[in-house]
Structure 1
Amino acid sequence: MPPTSRQRQKLATRAAILRVAAEEFDAKGYVGTAISDIATRLELTKGSVYFHFPSKAQLAAVTVDAYFRMWDPVLEEVRTRGLTGLEAMRQVSHRVAAVYRDDVAVRAAVRLMRESALIDADLPTPFVGWMRVVRTYLDQAVGAGTLRGGLDLDAVAWHVVATFFGVQEVSHQLDDRAGLERRIDMLWDLLLPGIAAPR
């Protein structure tokens, strides 16, 4: 059965709360964000916000959880283009960087994960999923003969992810991610000669 108008309204309100909460979390962090500010911006009562999210911690947890679910379409799009190995890794990094730059919900989730010690909720562990993705691409590169021999692939995956997110953070702190795509290209120009098989 299609949703009723009341159900559609509830879903729309919930989505609006999540959108405004992301903007608040991104700008002010977890501690600086107040449910009352979210309610005021949406012209809702605090009770209406709490109806959908019983606590600020749960609102933060849902924001972070959405971050972890949003990357499958990015990975699938690269896969359907037939990209694998080092080229897939480079293309995914550009897509992820663009989302980090442009999507306030992603920026909010990243800030919340940084502040996880302040949040009374179990948040997923960041970065390990990306390490698994990178390790898969490295395995593909080994199979294609495009990766230098003798590398510890788990260590390479760790450092690729750490370097990528380090570039994100420094770019965010110093220039609000202006020129981020160029920074990602420079990252690969510096990194690939150390791991790619000699031509």
Structure 2
Amino acid sequence: MTRPRQERAVRTREAILRAAAEVFDEFGYSAAGVSKILQRAGVTQGAMYFHFKSKEDLGRAVLVEQAAALALPEAPAGLQQLIDMTLFLGFELQRDVLLRAGVRLAVEQGEAGLRDFTVYHMWIDRFRAELDAADERGELLPQVDAAEFARVLVASFTGTQLMSDVESGREGLPAQIAVLWSYLLPGIATPAALARLVVDVERGRAML
């Protein structure tokens, strides 16, 4: 009896989280009323407050769990994997509503009443792991600071996807990420690494 109840609770939480992501993505945090989320999830107010204490709590969950369902590579492998991963994220932002809503909330934290840098730390750490692997493989120029560039990359990626959203609903995002890399790579990669690295949108699509 306990296990079916637990499984039902997990499904209910997932339904609420996805509904909240859809509403946050569509309307933004301020216009995302709890009633809209409950209607979209098909649950009662009591069910929501069992899992989330408030709309702010729900927004923080979407923010922090934005990448929970992503199939990212488990082991760092260097610059090629980092390039492919960012292209993959470009495609995922077109189709994954939890990721998209989480990114929107990360950018609109002031409006949402949140001050949470956790998700930025998460992406900085994930990108830095690939950069550390690249450094061990001799792919980075001597002057490159992996921790510093990881922050630069997260900031650059965030700005690129925001501009793409405004311009085309992120339709051209993967191609714009490829252009971003064409300018960034000469500043961080050794000539030998640069000669073998491939910036190909289709490699990112293949990770889907």
**Aligned AA (1:193):** P
Q: Distance in 2 between matches of 1:49 and 1:151?
A: 47
Give the unaligned 5+ runs of structure 2: 193-208
Work out which of the two has the higher radius of gyration on C-alpha atoms and give 1 or 2: 1
* Superposed displacement of residue 44, structure 1: 4.0
Q: Distance in 2 between matches of 1:18 and 1:102?
A: 16
| 2:60 equivalent to 1:61 | yes
Is the Cα contact below 8 Å between 1:148 and 1:195 reproduced in 2? yes
In structure 2, the residue corresponding to 1:84 is in which secondary structure? coil
Is the Cα contact below 8 Å between 1:101 and 1:177 reproduced in 2? yes
**Aligned AA (2:26):** A
* Superposed displacement of residue 101, structure 1: 1.9
Query: What is aligned with 1:74?
Result: 72
2:127 to 134, 157, 169: 134
In structure 1, the residue corresponding to 2:65 is in which secondary structure? helix
Query: What is aligned with 1:3?
Result: 3
Q: Distance in 1 between matches of 2:112 and 2:174?
A: 32
Q: What is the total number of aligned residue pairs between the two structures? A: 192
Q: TM-score, normalised by structure 1?
A: 0.82
Query: CA RMSD of the aligned region, Å?
Result: 2.5
Q: Which has the higher contact order (CA 8 A, sep 6+)?
A: 2
* Superposed displacement of residue 12, structure 1: 2.8
Q: Distance in 1 between matches of 2:112 and 2:177?
A: 31
* Superposed displacement of residue 87, structure 1: 0.7
Q: Distance in 2 between matches of 1:145 and 1:94?
A: 23
Q: Distance in 1 between matches of 2:99 and 2:50?
A: 24
Deviation sequence 1:17-57 (CA, Å, 0-9, x none): 22111111111111111111222334444344333323111
**Aligned AA (2:138):** G
Q: Distance in 1 between matches of 2:40 and 2:132?
A: 48
Stretches of 4+ moved more than 6 A in 1?
Answer: none
Query: What is aligned with 2:90?
Result: 97
**Aligned AA (1:110):** V
Q: Distance in 2 between matches of 1:15 and 1:156?
A: 35
Is the Cα contact below 8 Å between 1:61 and 1:122 reproduced in 2? no
Q: Distance in 2 between matches of 1:185 and 1:42?
A: 37
Is the Cα contact below 8 Å between 1:58 and 1:121 reproduced in 2? no
